[in-house]
Amino acid sequence: MLLRRKPTDTAHTHTQHTHAAAGSQVQDPNTIKPDYAPSSPWKRYIKRLPRIFKEQGSEENIPRSWVPLTERNLTEFYNEDYSDEHDAFHKVRGPRKICVLEWVQLLPGVSIEGALPIAANSPQKPPYGLYAEKLSGTAFTAPRHENQQTWLYRILPASAHSPFEPREAATYNTNPENKPHEKLFHIPNQLRWDPFDLDETVDWVHSLHLVAGAGDPTMKSGVGIYIFAAGKDMDPHEAFYSADGDFLIVPQHGVLDIQTELGKILVRPNEICVIPRGIRYRVTLPEGPVRGYILELYQGHFTLPDLGPIGSNCLANARDFQAPVASFSEDTDTSWTLLSKFSGHLFAAKQSHTPFDVVAWHGLYYPYKYDLGRFNTIGSISYDHPDPSIFTVLTAQSDHPGTAVADFVIFPPRWLVQEDTFRPPWYHRNTMSEFMGLIHGQYDAKTGGGFQPAGASLHNVMSAHGPDATTHEKASNAELKPVKVGEGSMAFMFESCLMVGVTEWGLKRCKKVQADYNAESWESLEPHFKRPEKKVGEIRNGTGSKEGEIGDKSQVPHWTS
């Protein structure tokens, strides 16, 4: 059930909060304990709902299923600015008559009901003089179950702009394979990074740093892994899109207020957002600097994984994904700059109208968000640690079923109850590449202290890895009673079947690679092997026989030890 905000309540908006004063230092959240409790939005919202809850201000009266499981993620479930269901066929009209987003401009005295054509997608004259435009995320002839197309009804078409020109060609490049003096370094070493720095000096577009990747966006093949760290809003009349792939955005610190062509999305830590290839958007920072991770998918699109024997529910449920409701601006007089990331390079074009003029849309190709707190975790209730594939939120399959170009996997708070089992992940070598990050807390398989929020690790194809020495010691001697791990923590993994290369920025220029990663994690592991004690008169040659009997080495000299 979706709890809607009262129509007359406009107290909470996505308004811009005051940024830190110029020149002030931003406190890195990794050095302080987050404080979530004192001014919790719960009490403020509950007080505004006296008609629903008899005891005004009582948190206990809210059914748990009416709010997201991540305590701070309350806003969307009290307003009408989001639609629900991933892979649902959205028919979205916008904006609402009562607008809670300050930058949406309503046409005075004009109703927008009927902006979406009925039956036809491209009538001779769309309602209200709008232009019909098709946004294709797949080939027109893609199989129906894979086909992703959306019809937009906008004030001016997206093509109404000047030619794109290269911008910052000497400094902006997120596709180093296209430059002979920059390349990806393919190395078998296990890598781990200290927390990446916050950066107050750049906006969203210029905060993107490619750390690692594989393939080539020009061939629509492979993935790119980014760190973003921004401290400024994008210019008020600037929009951005990537022609290279779909962005899966994982915030670690701060809030992203994303205005897209199809509507607005507010994304906070413990949420993720997917912005498909080509969709134009603008990012502002209502609570100051932001930092996080991005997985750019050059081929295909993210989908929910098949559940197989799990059945029809669990893991990430379709009902918990949220898509934006259309909202628009009627600005046809202001000069805007449209930025494009095309083959990793930056291009710019000018246009005399806002790109955010979509009055209505319907289709299957749209941005969406998901609260990781709603993930329904599956695990073993008998013995052994299952494969991490049971923690997959979204996947993008290769042409070989069951093998992913990209999986997005999380390790949320969960109960461990296995009997006679080493409960952390086992030591392993994987044909897949594993890039891990930590949103907050402490990952239960890395308790030695080196894997920190805003940091990362990369275990490439067949690079051996597993619990660090400290974790192995604890887990090998722990009392095997039911225990909940990961409380207050959220780790994740970008997994790919591709061999991932590391950029020069990721390997050297960021200056975050931990040189002592192996020494700290595994070189200190000690052997515990002990040969079984030999019993008197017993010859251990695999037969269990006694001296002088058949099977004795002295009687059968051609047998080897």
DSSP string covering 160-184: -SPPPEE-STTT--S-GGGSTT---
Q: Tell me, what's the pLDDT at 456?
A: 97
State residue 82's pLDDT score: 58
How many other C-beta atoms lie within 10 A of the C-beta of residue 6?
A: 15
Residue partners of 333: CB distance under 8 A and separation at least 6: 352, 353
Q: How far apart are CA 203 and CA 209, in angstroms?
A: 12
Instruction: List all residues 6 or more positions away from 9 whose beta carbon is below 8 Å from its beta carbon.
Output: 48, 78
Which tokens is 495 given?
A: 């997994």
Say how many C-beta atoms besides its own lie within 10 A of residue 290's C-beta.
Answer: 28
Q: If DSSP codes are grouped into helix, strand and coil, which group holds residue 162?
A: coil
Q: Which of 12, 19, 237, 385 is catalytic?
A: 385
Closest CA to 262 of 332, 361, 354, 331: 361
Report residue 106 as tokens: 């309503």
For the chain, what are the domain ranges?
100-180+198-371, 373-523
User: Structure pTM?
Assistant: 0.81
Q: Using only the alpha carbons of the chain, give its radius of gyration.
A: 27
- Do the Cβ atoms of 245 and 193 come closer than 8 Å? no
Distances (CA, A) of 436 to 228, 239, 453: 15, 30, 11
Whether 558 sits among the annotated catalytic residues: the reply is: no
Q: Is 465 annotated as a binding residue?
A: yes
CB 403 within 8 A of CB 421: no
CATH level 3 topology of 373-523: Jelly Rolls (2.60.120)
Assess contact for 459 and 417: CB atoms under 8 A: no
Q: From the centroid of its chain, how far is CA 361? A: 25
Q: What is the dihedral of CA 301, 307, 311, 314, to 10 degrees?
A: -80
Whether the Cβ atoms of residue 446 and residue 467 lie closer than 8 Å to each other: yes
Q: What is the pLDDT of residue 407?
A: 98
Contact between residue 221 and residue 228 where contact means Cβ atoms under 8 Å apart:
no
Task: Show the tokens assigned to 9.
Answer: 């309540």
Count the alpha carbons within 13 Å of 227 in the hemisphere toward its beta carbon.
29
Q: Taking the CB of residue 513, how many other CB atoms lie within 10 A of it?
A: 17
Q: List, as one string, the DSSP characters of 120-157.
A: -SS-SS-GGGPEEEEEESS-TTS-TTT--EEEEEESS-
Distances from the Cα of 338 to the Cα of 151, 166, 272, 280, angstroms: 21, 12, 25, 8
Q: Does this chain's domain 100-180+198-371 share its CATH topology with 373-523?
A: yes
Map tokens 């302080």 to a residue.
Answer: 32
Cα–Cα dist 7/78, whole Å = 10
528-534: list long-range contacts, CB under 8 Å, 24+ apart: none
Domain 100-180+198-371: CATH class, spelled out? mainly beta
Residue 468 and residue 183 in contact, taking contact as beta carbons nearer than 8 Å: no
Contact assessment for residue 492 and residue 439, using Cβ atoms and an 8 Å cutoff: yes
CB 455 within 8 A of CB 196: yes
How far does Cα 240 stand from its chain's mean position? 19
443 assigned binding-site residue: yes
Q: State residue 183's pLDDT score.
A: 83
Q: CA distances (Å), 330 to each of 279, 340, 354, 355, 397, in order? A: 19, 23, 8, 10, 40
d(CA 155, CA 358): 7
Per the annotation, does 146 bind a ligand? no
Please indicate if the annotation marks 434 as binding a ligand: yes
Q: Kindly list the averaged pLDDT for each block of 10 residues, start to end, along the chain of length 561.
A: 31 35 43 40 47 48 50 46 52 36 24 81 94 96 92 96 92 70 86 96 96 95 97 98 98 96 93 97 96 97 95 92 89 96 96 95 93 94 93 96 96 94 92 96 83 96 92 92 93 97 95 94 91 72 51 48 41
Other residues' Cβ atoms within 10 Å of the Cβ of residue 314:
13
Report whether the peptide linkage leading into residue 117 is cis, meaning its omega lies within 30 degrees of zero.
no
